[in-house]
């Protein structure tokens, strides 16, 4: 059995780029043309972009024409979550949707919670239960009340497919059914789910979803908005200019990044059937070892469907910040939750929404696995965690752990 000297268990923050992706990006860097140019060099660059569009669409069961590339998942969400959204209903004349209310899950990523462009008074959280699952009954009641209060108006519901901290998977098909019943649009931040579980925009009933390349073995700084149909339009697109990406995102396309995204998406789709079970086995090994070391540890969201690669946990007596430092020095890279907070360790809004005790959430850590993860890395983590437990100063706390 191999022995790991370093364990990278922070794939939900960013997944190491696959070698095949690097090679494809290097080749794309050598393409001389601008994708908007009509000469042979430009057409070659355009061909590379359109091939990647097909690959990304294939990952989520969409049509290539309905994929819009962006500068990442955060930009994709910020672009889309706007009261300027319009529904063209497939016809020639677009009818402005009075999207005067945004309802989003209380455990959404900060780029949804804070990055949308709705006024504060037009935004409400959808509560979640102790496992982090959105309250479908609350959502139905709120949309019903909205329909009575604002006849003819339209709401936008945003619910991520899988949580970045706990890995908890939301019942998107049920949420979509509720949204459709009351004429609401449904957006899903599928950044963490794509490439880890099967994602099909049609069968799940989402109107639009958003993706990011660096969560599935692609490069950082490239993402996508994916529509179920071509009916949605936006009056106030943030980046206007040359009309690239069907006018949704002006500016010369990041050809190497987009090509890398496409290769990563294709590889993730191909490996989905085998990689999911493999990661679930490794995650279960980690959690079993953790509970053997510290039976009083909590594994958050364990009672709900979860991504196969994600485990969020805490042990009484261990603080997140101190433990992260100790684990890093021992060769193990973990996270305390979302990695999009400028390197800060702060209390998780996700666990707060789930009703987790503040003392417990202060010690919450997240291990997230990926294509590079092996058994030796899990063993290295467990050995390092055992040392962290042994260093708990209070004997009663250590005994409880």
Please name which of 265, 262, 258 lies closest in space to residue 35, comparing C-alpha atoms.
258
Whole-number Å distance between alpha carbons of 133 and 169: 8
Closest by CA position to 167, among listed 204, 122, 133, 123 = 133
> Pick the catalytic residue: 88, 94, 340, 374?
340
Count of CB atoms situated within 10 Å of the CB of 176? 21
CA gyration radius for the chain?
A: 22
Beta strand ranges found along 183-326 (DSSP E): 185-189, 208-212, 223-227, 232-234, 298-299, 310-314
Are residues 264 and 278 in contact, defined by beta-carbon separation less than 8 angstroms? Answer: no
E strand or H helix that includes residue 48: helix 40-59
CA-to-CA separations, 248 to 73, 79, 134, 241, 262, in angstroms, rounded: 14, 8, 30, 10, 19
Buried b (16+ CB within 10 A) or exposed e, 74-93: bbbbbbbbbbebbbeeeeee
Find residue 8's DSSP bridge partners: 333
- Angle at 194 (CA atoms; ends 112, 229), nearest 5 degrees: 75
Active site residue 340: yes
DSSP conformation class of 17: P
Residues classed as catalytic: 340
């Amino acid at each position: 059995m191999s022995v790991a000297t370093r364990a990278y268990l922070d794939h939900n923050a960013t997944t190491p780029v696959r070698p095949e992706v690097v090679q494809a990006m290097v080749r794309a860097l050598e393409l001389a043309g601008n994708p908007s140019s009509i000469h042979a060099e430009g057409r070659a660059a355009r061909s590379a972009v359109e091939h990647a569009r097909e690959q990304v669409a294939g990952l989520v069961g969409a049509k290539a024409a309905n994929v819009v590339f962006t500068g990442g998942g955060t930009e994709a969400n910020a672009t889309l979550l706007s009261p300027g959204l319009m529904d063209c209903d497939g016809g020639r004349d677009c009818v402005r949707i009075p999207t005067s209310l945004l309802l989003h899950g209380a455990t959404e990523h900060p780029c949804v919670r804070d990055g949308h462009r709705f006024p504060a008074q037009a935004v409400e959280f959808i509560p979640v239960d102790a496992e982090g699952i959105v309250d479908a009954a609350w959502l139905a009641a709120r949309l019903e009340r909205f329909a009575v209060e604002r006849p003819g108006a339209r709401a936008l519901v945003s619910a991520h497919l899988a949580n970045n901290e706990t890995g908890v998977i939301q019942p998107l098909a049920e949420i979509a059914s509720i949204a459709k019943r009351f004429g609401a649009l449904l957006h899903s931040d599928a950044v963490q789910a794509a490439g880890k579980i099967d994602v099909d925009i049609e069968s799940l009933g989402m109107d639009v979803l958003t993706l990011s390349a660096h969560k599935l073995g692609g490069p950082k700084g490239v993402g996508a908005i994916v529509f179920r149909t071509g009916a949605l339009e936006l009056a106030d697109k943030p980046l206007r200019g040359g009309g690239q990406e069907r006018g949704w995102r002006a500016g010369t396309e990041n050809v190497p990044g987009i090509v890398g995204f496409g290769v990563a998406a294709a590889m993730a789709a191909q490996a989905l059937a085998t990689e999911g079970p493999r990661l679930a086995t490794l995650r279960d090994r980690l959690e079993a070892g953790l509970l053997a070391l510290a039976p009083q540890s909590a594994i958050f969201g364990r009672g709900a469907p979860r991504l196969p690669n994600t485990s969020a946990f805490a042990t009484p007596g261990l603080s997140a910040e101190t433990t992260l430092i100790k684990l890093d020095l021992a060769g193990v890279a973990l996270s305390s939750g979302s990695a999009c907070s400028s390197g800060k360790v702060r209390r998780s809004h996700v666990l707060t929404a789930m009703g987790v005790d503040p003392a417990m959430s202060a010690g919450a850590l997240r291990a997230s696995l990926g294509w590079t993860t092996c058994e030796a890395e899990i063993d290295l983590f467990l050995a390092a965690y055992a040392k962290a437990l042994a260093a708990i100063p209070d004997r009663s706390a250590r005994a409880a752990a």
